[in-house]
Amino acid sequence: MKPGNKYQVVVVGAGHAGIEAALAAARCGARVALLTLSNNSIGRMSCNPSIGGLAKGQMVREIDVLGGVMGLAADFSGIQFKILNKSKGRAVWSPRAQVDKRIYEQYVKESVVQATGIDIIEGEAVAPILKKGNIAGVKTVDGGVISANAVVLTNGTFLNGVIHIGQKKIPAGRMGETRSIGITESLEEIGLQHGRLKTGTPPRLVKNSIDWNKLDKISGDNNPAPFSHFHKNFKPPNVPCYSITTNRSSHDIINDNLMLSPMFSGDIRGVGPRYCPSIEDKINRFSDKNSHRLICEPEWFNSDQIYLNGFSTSLPEDVQLKTLQCLSGFENIQFVKPGYAIEYDYIYPYQLKLTLESKCVPGLYNAGQINGTSGYEEAAIQGLVAGANAGLSLKGREPLILNRAEAYAGVLIDDLITKSTPEPYRMFTSRAEHRLVLRYTNANRRLANKSLECGLIDESKYVVLAAQISATDKAIAECENSVIPDQVNQLIILSGNKPIDQKIPLKILLKRPGVLLSSFEGTTISAPAVSKPYKDEILLEADTIIKYHGYIDRSNRQINKILKSDMVKLYPRLDYNLVVGLSTESREKLCSIKPETLGQAMRISGVTPADISVLSIFIAKQERVSRET
């Protein structure tokens, strides 16, 4: 390491958040130091061997349009691709991929190495350095100093991390990797508040100890869709996963040993995620369920190590083994590593601005699990936003702020600040009140311009995105073309609809469920002029815009209303004690969160519509007074 070096941005941590942060800051023209505990753990996938999934897949698409690496890496290392939620309406369709963890890590590391303006430094930060209240760099464990104008903290689960396996406690950031100490304490010193969370990971199984014939095979889509928008060709493998279900006797073993789990014995204070509960939690809370589905996922291509999705646990290793041995196919099961729970510190994210910069320490940015989120995708998009804003602010440029109606990333960051969720935050489509307009197929349209303006993508990438958007528009325009009964009736009948008796514009016909635009490619409409992997998707998106027209319009009307309240700025120095008529709860929340806009204030839990009326009257009055004086 090169102590005393002067950088513009230091990124602490090289996980999914840190990497996107470093790359984004560098794309915005900053000189970046990426500080990692170990050169070998850059871009590590610490938990599941997959990228994307419900709501997360949409975020990977957003990362890709914003020039990030996650989508490209997942496409490059993917071994099975699938669009989830196919039976439930296309606004919630989400891409997901099983990936080869090793290739993924290699690809990501290589991207950082190749990027201009990033130095990778092996070392451990112990505290941020402040000069006159502004960030000035970080102190390292060996007493060195890395100076910088901005610091992005992406420490993941390493802040005072403690691993729990049964009664065993191991101080660590990940299994076998040292944790970092000192950062939480030094942040506390500069006035930031923190809490503690818990997350878990399932055991890794020895491949040859599984009787695969007794498991059910799950394959990916035959017609895979990539995450990234920038491929010419896309031909990934389709490696299957296998499912197995738990049974009563395995549940009995867990119930008998419940008190050995630190979750139940009280050893773990941190709050775990309800949506990704440990197996002991699931069995305890939903005792009426006779079985739970588990999925065996290869950690890499031809992996001898199998990730057991759905069996996150902190029970003692022997109990984990005994439980799994009850399952047909797992009679002789062996572990590479047992499952474990990890507790770590996080910094309450309400202390951040929408740029992810700290409200009280200019130049300090936090992203990823340090903000209380869970998941690779959630971390990556925060890293990207934080890194971009660190870079943009140094150049004196407008920040990258995404609103709730243009990106899941906007929902994520706004929620972190206003909701103060007491458990690890994972994205869901239902968190996005405008999800009908946040589709994986329109991330290009939503974000391409902003991305270009911020310098996150170059002209060549923008041209690709613009071509996809205009191909969609062209397809929609061609749906004004009419179709005649003879030409389409056979198809309509097959789709379960009533035949037509006279010629009608295609767009009218498409309103019928089951009649798909793709069936008219090459006849009524021309093939989209984009590279091959995206042709189907362009038609799908055009079809969606036509079919959902009324709903999209209604959503947009709601959005416009809400964006108006997001335009009303609340100044950080506003003294809520002077606002007559607020309830005590809102007053306290508003004082501590200090929302940046009226819209944000509205979304704080406990702040009622009545409080918002009171507040808006107060602001209007103040503005009038300041205009008149």
Partner 1 sequence: MFNVGTVVAQSTPYGYGGIGIVRLTGPDTVKILGDLTNRSKDELGFIKPRLAYRWIIFDENKEPFDDAVLTLFKGPKSYTGEDVLEISCHGSPYILKYVVDLCISYGASPAGPGEFTRRAFINGKIDLMQAESVANLVSASSHRGVNLALNCLRGKLSKEITSMRDEMIDVLSYSEHLLDVSEEDLTTANISYIINKTAKIHEKVQKLIENYNTCRIMTYGAVVVLCGPVNSGKSTLFNSLVGSERAIVNREPGTTRDLLEALIIIDGVPITLVDTAGLRETADDVEMEGVRRARDYMNKADLVCVINDITIGSALVEVTDYTLLKKNYIVNIYNKIDLIPKKDIEEFRGLFKPGLFTSALTGVGLDELKNHIVTTLDLESNSSENFGITTPRQYNAIFKSDVAMAAVLEIAEQPPVQLELVSFELQNALNSMEDLLGTKTADEVLNNMFDSFCVGK
Q: Could you give the dihedral angle defined by the CA atoms of residues 162, 168, 174 and 177, in that order, rounded to the nearest 10 degrees?
A: 100
Query: Per CB under 8 A, which region of 61-69, 89-97, 405-413, 529-537 contacts partner 1?
Result: 89-97
Least Å from the CB of residue 340 to partner 1 = 16
- Where does this chain touch partner 1 (CB under 8 A) — which range of 233-241, 285-293, 403-411, 497-505? 285-293
Residue 590 beta carbon to partner 1: minimum distance, rounded to whole angstroms:
12
The residues in 54-83 that bind partner 1, with binding defined as CB under 8 A, are: 54-55
Of 134 and 290, which CB lies nearer to partner 1 in the complex structure? 290
- Select from 518, 583, 592, 622 the one that contacts partner 1 (CB under 8 A): 583
Closest distance of CB 92 from partner 1, Å: 5
Among 133, 499, 513, 572, binds partner 1 (CB under 8 A): 513
Site for partner 1 (CB under 8 A): which residue of 44, 61, 204, 603? 603
Could you give the CA distance from residue 499 to residue 480 in angstroms, rounded to a whole number? Answer: 19
> Which of 82, 66, 563 lies closest to 74, judged by CA?
82
- Of 155 and 374, nearer to partner 1 (C-beta) is 374
Measured distance CA(451)–CA(202) in Å, rounded: 37
How many residues belong to the chain? 629
Contact between 282 and partner 1 by CB under 8 A: the answer reads yes
How many C-beta neighbours within 10 Å does residue 628 have? 6
How would you list the strands of the sheet with 78-84, edge to edge?
A: 50-52, 94-99, 78-84
437 token code pair: 């307009």
Nearest approach in angstroms of CB 138 to partner 1 is 36
The partner residues of 98 in beta bridges, in order of sequence, read 50, 80
Residue with smaller CB distance to partner 1, 259 or 580: 580
242: phi then psi, degrees, rounded to nearest 5: -135, 140
* CB 608 to partner 1: min, Å: 6
Judged by CB under 8 A, the stretch of 2-10, 228-236, 270-278, 446-454 that binds partner 1 is 270-278
Q: Figure out which of the listed residues 286, 480, 493, 564 binds partner 1, where binding follows CB under 8 A.
A: 286
**Secondary structure (3-state) at 127:** strand
Q: How far is the CB of 144 from partner 1 (least distance, A)?
A: 42
Q: Beta strand 50-52 with 94-99: parallel, antiparallel or unpaired?
A: antiparallel
**For residue 362, with 0-12 CB atoms within 10 Å meaning exposed, 13-18 middle and 19 or more buried, which class applies?**
middle
**CB-wise, 561 or 627, nearer to partner 1?**
561
Query: Angle, to 10 degrees, between the axis of helix 70-77 and the axis of helix 56-65?
Result: 110
Does 244 bind partner 1 (CB under 8 A)? Our answer is: no
| Residue (53 or 262) nearer to partner 1, CB | 53
Helix or strand holding residue 414 (H, E)? helix 408-419
Quote the tokens at residue 131: 């000069």
Give the binding range for partner 1 (CB under 8 A) out of 17-25, 190-198, 283-291, 334-342.
283-291
Question: Judged by CB under 8 A, which stretch of 84-92, 103-111, 161-169, 314-322 contacts partner 1?
Answer: 84-92
Residues 6+ apart with CB under 8 A from 134: 361, 362, 363
Instruction: Identify which of residues 289 and 569 has a Cβ nearer to partner 1 in the complex.
Output: 289
Q: CA 100 → CA 228, 292, 307, distances in Å? A: 17, 26, 12
Name which of residues 439 to 498 contact partner 1 (CB under 8 A).
Answer: 496
| Residue 292 interacts with partner 1 (CB under 8 A): yes or no | yes
Identity of the residue numbered 142: D
Nearer to partner 1, 538 or 582 (CB): 582
Which of 173/599 has CB closer to partner 1? 599
Contact with partner 1 (CB under 8 A): which of 91, 152, 205, 388? Answer: 91
Stretch that binds partner 1, among 85-93, 114-122, 151-159, 404-412 (CB under 8 A): 85-93
Report in angstroms how near the CB of residue 603 gets to partner 1 at its nearest: 7
Question: Can residue 92 be called a binding residue for partner 1 (CB under 8 A)?
Answer: yes
Which string of x and - marks every residue 520-559 that binds partner 1 (by CB under 8 A)? ----------------------------x--x---x----
CB 602 to partner 1: min, Å: 8
* Pick 394 or 438: Cβ nearer partner 1: 438
Stretch of residues binding partner 1 (CB under 8 A), selected from 116-124, 230-238, 385-393, 610-618: 610-618
Shortest distance, position 426 Cβ to partner 1, whole Å: 9
SS (H, E, C) 489-530: HHHHHHCCCCCCCCCEEHHHHCCCCCCCHHHHECCCECCCCC
Q: Which residues pair with 297 in a beta bridge?
A: 307
Pair 447, 65: CB distance under 8 Å? yes
Contact 378, 415 (CB under 8 A): no
Q: Which is nearer to partner 1, 106 or 421 (CB)?
A: 421
Helix, strand, coil percentages (3-state) for the chain, rounded to 5, are 45, 20, 40
Helix (H) or strand (E) holding 101: helix 101-114
Q: From edge to edge, which strands make up the β-sheet containing 9-12? A: 118-122, 32-36, 9-12, 150-153, 364-366
Asked whether position 422 contacts partner 1 by CB under 8 A, the answer is no
DSSP string, 227-240: S-S--S--------
Q: In 3D, which of 52, 386, 493, 448 has the Cα closest to residue 236?
A: 52
Q: Which one of 95, 173, 310, 391 is in contact with partner 1 (CB under 8 A)?
A: 310
Angle at 560 between CA 554 and CA 566, to 5 degrees: 140
Closest alpha carbon to 492 in 520, 526, 522, 472: 520
Residues that bind partner 1 (rule: CB under 8 A) add up to a total of 53
Answer for the pair 405, 434: CB distance below 8 angstroms, yes or no: yes
Choices 122-130, 132-140, 289-297, 388-396; region in contact with partner 1 by CB under 8 A: 289-297
Which CB sits closer to partner 1, 474 or 587?
A: 587
Q: How far is the CB of 428 from partner 1 (least distance, A)?
A: 4
Q: HEC string of 419-457?
A: HCCCCCECCCHHHCCCHHHCCHHHHHHHHHHHHHHCCCC
**Site residues (vs partner 1, CB under 8 A):** 54-55, 84-92, 274-277, 282, 285-286, 289, 292-293, 295, 309-310, 312, 419, 428-431, 433, 435-436, 496, 513-514, 548, 551, 555, 577, 580-584, 587, 603, 605, 608-611, 614
